[in-house]
Amino acid sequence: MLLPEKFVEKYQTILGAEAAAFFKSFEENPVSAYRINPLKGEADHFTDPIKDTPWGHYGKISGKSIEHVTGLVYSQEPAAQMVGQIAAPKPGMKVLDLAAAPGGKSTHLLSYLNNSGILISNEISKKRSKALVENIERFGARNALVTNESPKRLAAVFQHYFDLIVLDAPCSGEGMFRKDPSAIQYWHEDYPLQCAQIQKEILTEAVKMLAPGGSLVYSTCTWAPEENEEVVSWLLSKYSYLELAEIPKINGMAAGIKMPQAARMYPHCFKGEGQFAAKLQDKRPSRTVAIKPRKNQLKKEQEQLWQDFAHKHLNVKLTGFYQTFGDHLYLLPQGLPDMSQLKMARNGLHLGVFKKKRFEPSFALGLALKREEFTRFIEIDVEQFKIYVSGNSVSLSQDYPNGWYPIFIKGKGIGFAKVTGNTLKNHFPKGLRFQ
């Protein structure tokens, strides 16, 4: 791999005796890995675990596999997995993933939250947020919203609100050179400093949203000190109430440059790509800001249609408040401020749509609940799965009462479908179907 001359000179100086091993690692193959999704229940058939991680495994997962389609696994390389693990939110926390697409960090945070608390997953790019919404939906989250906003507009709504903020910041991408060699063409000697300025602008707004006593995890996929330790030093000098927390160094992580609490991941030491992470703790006394519980925003007829559907199909009472956007019904977690002025890509868990005197369940609802949370379901086999995800109807081995059923494969949901007799009609989203 041909690396920029100035890049080579820079890291020869930074790494000294380690530089040769560092540059040699660029000739090796990128490391692939994935995480198991604890929201989907038990999963004990995976091998090659990443040491000292709760859900990480080395290896590749096909995008057409049952495990991927049902959201049981999420592909994410090992160094990137460390950011969510360093953040490790506790259940019930209010969490912000500030630059979230395509969803690796958000789905990892959701694993820790375990369908409690709130995750606001923000991606300013509407185009990039489509993959983010799809990944969060497949993961089966019930407590996540996706916004398409600038940090400044978010800060106006979420002043001192979040217990935890994760910013995996836009950066010069040096840590991705091996995985994505095209990133090399964007790199130049002044690029890290240009990125650092943007990072500081984002962090200025992020700190406004941090609740007293909260935590801020700042990370990049670059090794440039200008974007890493120097940005963290700037934060510490600007906000006297922030202090660095120690990050345990596992699996070959290195300490930050003259900042031992932070963590660096180099591919010649850590089995993965490049990453930097620092965790900052807000030392101000924590305080609880009470937000008045929101009432359900449903018309009387809609309320009745939903209750009839829930009584017939669900074994679980979904907590939160119900809100309609047009004819679509969403479940949102309690404790949210007024978000009516923000651009939304995912308004919460999409439950379904009201049609003339009936309620039709959503694909997302079928992904979010487990078998035992439904009063009835249909389990299909592997051959039927192949037919279904190709967009075709499936013939069942027996007749069923007509109506909507959640469909499961190997105990994991793939959405709702309508059954007539022994025919399972196809409702798998067109954009997700396999040819």
**What pLDDT is stored for residue 388 in this prediction?**
97
Helix axis angle, 104-113 to 126-139, nearest 10°: 30
**For the CA atoms of 159, 160, 165, 168, what is the dihedral angle to 10 degrees?**
40
The whole-number average pLDDT for the span 360-369 is 97
At residue 124 the predicted structure's pLDDT band, cuts being 50, 70 and 90, is very high
**What pLDDT is stored for residue 289 in this prediction?**
73
123 is in an annotated binding site: yes
The whole-number average pLDDT for the span 1-20 is 96
293-310 pLDDT tens trace: 888 889 999 999 999 999
Phi, psi of 51, deg, nearest 5: -55, 140
| CB atoms inside a 10 Å sphere around CB 64 | 10
* Cis amide prior to 151 (ω within 30 degrees): no
The whole-number average pLDDT for the span 121-127 is 96
18 is in an annotated binding site: no
Contact 406, 380 (CB under 8 A): no
The whole-number average pLDDT for the span 372-401 is 96
Give percent of the chain with pLDDT exceeding 90: 95
168 is in an annotated binding site: yes
The pairing of beta strand 412-424 with beta strand 394-409? antiparallel
The CATH code that applies to domain 376-435 is: 2.30.130.60
105 is in an annotated binding site: yes
101 is in an annotated binding site: yes
Which two structure tokens, joined as six digits, stand for 52? 């000292």
Q: What is the mean pLDDT of the chain?
A: 96
The whole-number average pLDDT for the span 245-256 is 98
CATH 3.40.50.150 domain span(s) along the chain:
5-282
Contact 345, 132 (CB under 8 A): yes
**What pLDDT is stored for residue 41 in this prediction?**
82
52-95 pLDDT tens trace: 999 999 999 999 999 999 999 999 999 999 999 999 999 999 99
The whole-number average pLDDT for the span 28-43 is 93
pLDDT at 342 over 90: yes
**What pLDDT is stored for residue 293 in this prediction?**
80
The whole-number average pLDDT for the span 12-40 is 97
- pTM comes to 0.96
CATH 2.30.130.60 domain span(s) along the chain:
376-435
Helix (H, G, I), strand (E, B), or coil: what is residue 57? strand
Please identify every residue annotated as catalytic: 221
At residue 351 the predicted structure's pLDDT band, cuts being 50, 70 and 90, is very high
**What pLDDT is stored for residue 291 in this prediction?**
80
**What pLDDT is stored for residue 343 in this prediction?**
97
Q: Which fold has domain 5-282?
A: Rossmann fold (3.40.50)
Own/partner contacts of 152-158, CB < 8 Å, gap of 24 or more, are: 152/205, 153/341, 153/342, 154/96, 154/98, 154/120, 154/122, 154/205, 154/209, 154/342, 155/205, 155/206, 155/208, 155/209, 157/337, 157/338, 157/339, 157/341, 157/342, 158/96, 158/120, 158/209, 158/337
pLDDT at 290 over 80: no
**What pLDDT is stored for residue 42 in this prediction?**
78
411-420 as b/e: b if 16+ CB within 10 A: ebbbbbbbbe
Give percent of the chain with pLDDT exceeding 70: 100
At residue 324 the predicted structure's pLDDT band, cuts being 50, 70 and 90, is very high
- Comparing 357 with 406, which gets the higher pLDDT? 406
Bridge-partner residues for 355, per DSSP?
A: 358
**What pLDDT is stored for residue 209 in this prediction?**
98
103 is in an annotated binding site: yes
173-191 pLDDT tens trace: 999 999 999 999 999 999 9
At residue 156 the predicted structure's pLDDT band, cuts being 50, 70 and 90, is very high
**What pLDDT is stored for residue 163 in this prediction?**
97
